Amino acid sequence: MTTQQWFDERHDYAGSSIGFRVTQRLHAEQTPFQSIEIYDTTDWGKLMTIDGCMMVTTRDNFFYHEMMSHPALFTHPRARRVVIIGGGDCGTLREVLKHDEVESAVQVEIDERVTRLAEQYFPELCESNSDPRAQLLFIDGIKWMAECEPESLDIVIVDSTDPIGPAEGLFNEAFYRSCLKALRHGGILVQQSESPLAHLPLLKNIRKAMKGAGFQAMRTLTFPQPCYPTGWWSATLARKGVDLSDFRERGAEMKQFATQYYNVEIHKAALAMPEFLKAALEG
């Protein structure tokens, strides 16, 4: 935090930075896995950072959590069993459990402190933690996926931090092979895939690893995310044995729950890829 009371995250690799005006640091601790800090901001509510990188704010988290969950859930015909790898702030879990067809949602987060701090400072994200369909596990997600029963899952959502530290092993072909094995036919893997502007080589490597693992169809959906590098983010969907170009438009249009960003038109628009990105990923 600078003397002007701003928290700035500089991205030297992209020649850019993003900052929020803060009033105080509410919490700071070093867990066995990472450094976590919580700030109060003047305009964006609470801010959580991990290892100096912005993870979530009260004001803008809905973009990310909704796009990491609803496109996949409205693409799958009936996702009964969903697993979230990471996702310690529990916002993605909350969105997943808005779908009545989900019978089980398991969140596998390696660092329990992320969730406990989210419960304290972002309670609105954790309002579904007590849902009887929810199960919170605080163990290694890579190991859990490797040992998962074959063809037992409908959707796997990798809601991770950047591919460094505890999350490094969530972005490679070996991990995606574990996901493929665990998914039923037509199952969907969702990977947060960073900024198309700042991390294009990584995005290309993610898709290459997914293809190498055996996924037949991939789509990268982009969306705004003000607190992340460049303010533009992506989620890459990969599917086992079925195309990803269609989704349940009627279901999305008639959804019985509230969202702030996602709707049927947003889903359609997200399936369209900008020319430079299409050339880089599919050319």
3-state secondary structure of 13: helix
Is 246 catalytic? The answer is no
Q: Which residue out of 159, 162, 243, 246 is catalytically annotated?
A: 159
3-state secondary structure of 261: coil
Q: Please answer whether residues 118 and 126 qualify as being in contact, where contact means their C-beta atoms are separated by less than 8 angstroms.
A: yes
The dihedral over CA atoms of 237, 99, 247, 261, expressed in degrees to the nearest 10, equals -80
CA separation, residue 203 to residues 57, 114, 218 (Å): 24, 26, 12
Number of H helices, E strands in the chain: 9, 12
Measured from the Cβ of residue 13, the count of other Cβ atoms closer than 10 Å reads 9
Q: Please answer whether residues 76 and 186 qualify as being in contact, where contact means their C-beta atoms are separated by less than 8 angstroms.
A: yes
**Partners of 56 in the β-ladder:** 48
Please give the Cα distance from 214 to 86 (Å, whole number): 23
Residues catalogued as catalytic: 159
